[in-house]
Chains A and B, each alone.
Chain A
Amino acid sequence: MSAEFDADALRVKFAALLDGRLSEAEQAELDRLLAGSAEARRLWYLHCDMDVALADWSAARRASPDAMQTPPRRPRWLRLAAAAAVVVTGFVLWLLLPSREKTGNGVALLSQSTDAEWLQSSAAMVDGAVLPPGDLSLKSGAALIAFYNGARVVLEGPCEFKLVSAGEAWLGSGRLTAHVPPQARGFSVRTPTMRVVDHGTDFALAMNRDTTGEVHVFGGKVEVALPGGTSTLITGEAVRVAKTVTPTSARPSDFLDEKKFVQRAAEQSGRRMSEWRVASDALSSDAAVRVHFVFEPTQGTRQVTNRATYAAPESHGSIVGAEWSAGRWQAKRGLVFHGEADRVRFTVAQSMHALTLLAWVRISGLPHHDNSLLYSDEATAGSLRWQITKRGELRLEIARDLGRNYADWEAVNSRAAITPERLDQWLLLATTFDGRTVRHYLNGELISSGASFTPPALNLGTAELSNARDPVKHHLPSTMDEFAVLDRAMSDTEIARLFSAGRP
């Protein structure tokens, strides 16, 4: 063994390479070293084998039932959250990740919101979002929160509110109403001055910033614990809590209960849907649109109509298996691709030279290595595949002819953006290609871009939504309520505008 290199230093470089932390110059140097030394290559092979074995070992250790406090093994892309909870440098440190990052510790769902403006960053605050313990303060608007224990709370902005657990919340200021069914009995709300425990079924709470407040009971029995003692209120009773406690009578009309909230939400939903329809009609009449499905059922057929102004007969979609269900708004329909055979088939015979793919989808899982949004039947030059990887990357693949007896698929991935907390929510996915650059968008924002080869033409041909004709499974469990293919690359602004006009 010669001293032509330092094995330790080499291992550090290997590690940096595998972690993607090597600079171009360092990579070139490593390349020379490896090319020039069989011993260096032997160390590299050993390092690679260790890398593979260590990854297996870590996954197995994580999954083994006797490992301390081990969470159940989940798909790799779900495991990031758990990975932070480890012991480092000899100290036991149970780490808390930023709260919105994981779904494992959810205590409630954001069931619905109307015009809600949250104090915290609002990207993740969409209907259906899983809510972990933590701040949930509203600047304005209103929201319906469904606690995991079954209690339902309508929050009215502005308010300072925190989720504590699946059966407990904290209200610093503002107003809420709570509906507590039998299985959620014991649901409680703390405030700076009192603790309200519900024994079923409806109450309201209003807190002022000066810590005075009111408790109103509309049905059932509620216990109000104050520093000075506990009192019980029943249907129709209320108390005002300041320096002293004053009994009064309950006034339902002062509060936004679930019924009024739902009515308000329906009005908002109708308004939003009209806004979308204007934008959607404009899209249908865009000269570059090859396919535009808005998924409105046609009586007696299993067809989705291509609403593009110049729609070729073969471009209407035929539904295989998928069933109708609710779309982004109450009055909007969508197609559920639930079963593994579910799909919509259609044909775009014309070649294209640039591309925009748009889909409003609600994804319920990413079970396969590649999960198909759109998949050409053919695998010849210019064929297209639009997919989401298991890790949540949006991917466009274009088939390239390199003179072999099969097509080479060249892919441009986005970063992993469709993360677990994005599941079960309406998302606008978009990918554009101008002949050189592929750009991926999530909810109107550019998330990644990458260079591509320039194909002679893009040929979608006969293709399927949410599935693929392939021996390997690609079915994407999802609901889709709008889809479009354009023969031009839309701009960032256009896509952002489509998102704001179409967000639920």
Chain B
Amino acid sequence: MPLNDDRHAHFIRLLNAAHRRLLAYLVSLLGNRHDAEDVLQKASITMWKRFESFDASSVKVDDDFLSWACTVAFYEAKNFQRAAARSRLHFSDELLASIADERVGDLVNVSARAEALEHCLRKLDESSQRLVEAAYFEEGSILTLAAQLGRAPQTLYNRINIIRRKLAECVTARLAGGGAA
């Protein structure tokens, strides 16, 4: 790549700062965290290749980079869905377009939601925390767990759904009440 090191470092800094929001953006489009990670990896390469065309000097806030990066990520996601069309379910094009539009503006909430969630997680009892950990640690681990315990996976899914509801309510209350929850 003919771009110099400074420019590369600048790109990496911007990309790192936007990483979690880009991932959240892609998850809402693709409905799958692992696919989102794959697409983000691909999109990062495309971004790097096209970073020249992005006028970094005009960047006042990282949000400019974020919306540019979201555009690149959106097309990469569409690309991915076309390639995976036969093997995966996905949202309709119309829905994707409205999510893509709306979600860029919604991304300002990502870090506040994460902070609220952290707080709410601490209020869970230890066994619930551990179940969440297992559920999110690796794809398929709930099935593994259920098999190991000789339980129906649905039992564990139900339990996790209850925990998720508690967390979602706690996060919503906390964000609405400015931290009172």
Contacts and interface: CB of A to CB of B under 8 A. Distances in A.
Contacts of A123: none
B115 to A, nearest CB: 9
Contacts of A283: none
B133 interface: yes
Interface residue range, chain A: 35 or more
Nearest to B141: A83
A95 B148 contact: yes
B45 A472 contact: yes
A18 B31 contact: yes
Contacts of B167: 50
Contacts of A451: 86-87
A79 B136 CA distance: 11
Contacts of A49: 24, 109-110, 113-114, 117
B19 to A, nearest CB: 10
Among B83, B92, B103, B141, the one with the most A-chain Cβ atoms within 10 Å of its Cβ is B83
Interface in A410-435: 410-412
B99 interface: yes
Contact of B144 (A62, A83, A87, A412): A83
Interface string B35-64: 000100110011011000000000000000
A441 to B, nearest CB: 18
B168 A50 contact: yes
A472 B31 CA distance: 26
A47 B137 contact: no
Interface size class of B (residues with CB under 8 A): 35 or more
Given A50-B113, A54-B117, A54-B136, A24 B86 contact: no
Nearest to B75: A404
B149 A408 contact: no
A80 interface: yes
A47 B113 CA distance: 10
Given A34-B91, A50-B167, A471-B1, A87 B117 contact: no
Contact of B28 (A48, A83, A369, A412): A48
Contacts of A447: none
Given A59-B137, A86-B131, A50 B171 contact: yes
Contacts of A254: none
Contacts of B86: 450-451
A8 B32 contact: no
Contacts of A12: 161
Contacts of A93: 149
Interface stretch (A38-46, A153-161, A455-463): A38-46
A80 B145 CA distance: 11
Interface string A53-77: 1111111011000000000000010
Give the interface SS of chain A, mostly helix, strand, loop or mixed. Answer: helix
A57 B92 contact: no
Contact of B79 (A24, A38, A408): A408
Contacts of B46: 406
Interface string B7-39: 000000000000010011001100111100010
Given A47-B168, A49-B110, A41 B99 contact: yes
Given A48-B24, A53-B114, A86-B130, A450 B91 contact: no
Contacts of A76: 138
Contacts of B31: 17-18
A80 B48 CA distance: 32
Among A44, A45, A89, A391, find the residue whose CB has the most chain B CB atoms closer than 10 A: A45
Interface string A9-44: 001100111111010100100010011001001111
B95 A31 contact: yes
B123 interface: no
B165 A11 contact: yes
A97 B149 CA distance: 11
B181 to A, nearest CB: 14
A84 interface: yes
Contacts of B45: 471-472
A88 interface: yes
A50 B164 contact: yes
A55 B168 contact: no
Contacts of A18: 27, 31-33
Interface string B154-165: 001101110011
21 contacts: A11-B161, A11-B165, A15-B161, A18-B27, A27-B90, A31-B95, A41-B99, A44-B99, A50-B167, A51-B136, A53-B113, A57-B117, A57-B133, A83-B144, A84-B144, A86-B130, A86-B131, A95-B145, A97-B144, A97-B148, A471-B48
The 9 closest A-B pairs by CB, nearest first: A58-B136, A83-B141, A410-B83, A53-B114, A83-B137, A48-B28, A27-B89, A48-B27, A86-B134
Interface of B: 1, 20, 23-24, 27-28, 31-34, 38, 41-42, 45-46, 48-49, 79, 82-83, 86-87, 89-92, 94-95, 98-99, 102-103, 106, 109-110, 113-114, 117-118, 121, 126-127, 129-138, 140-142, 144-145, 148-149, 156-157, 159-161, 164-165, 167-168, 171-172
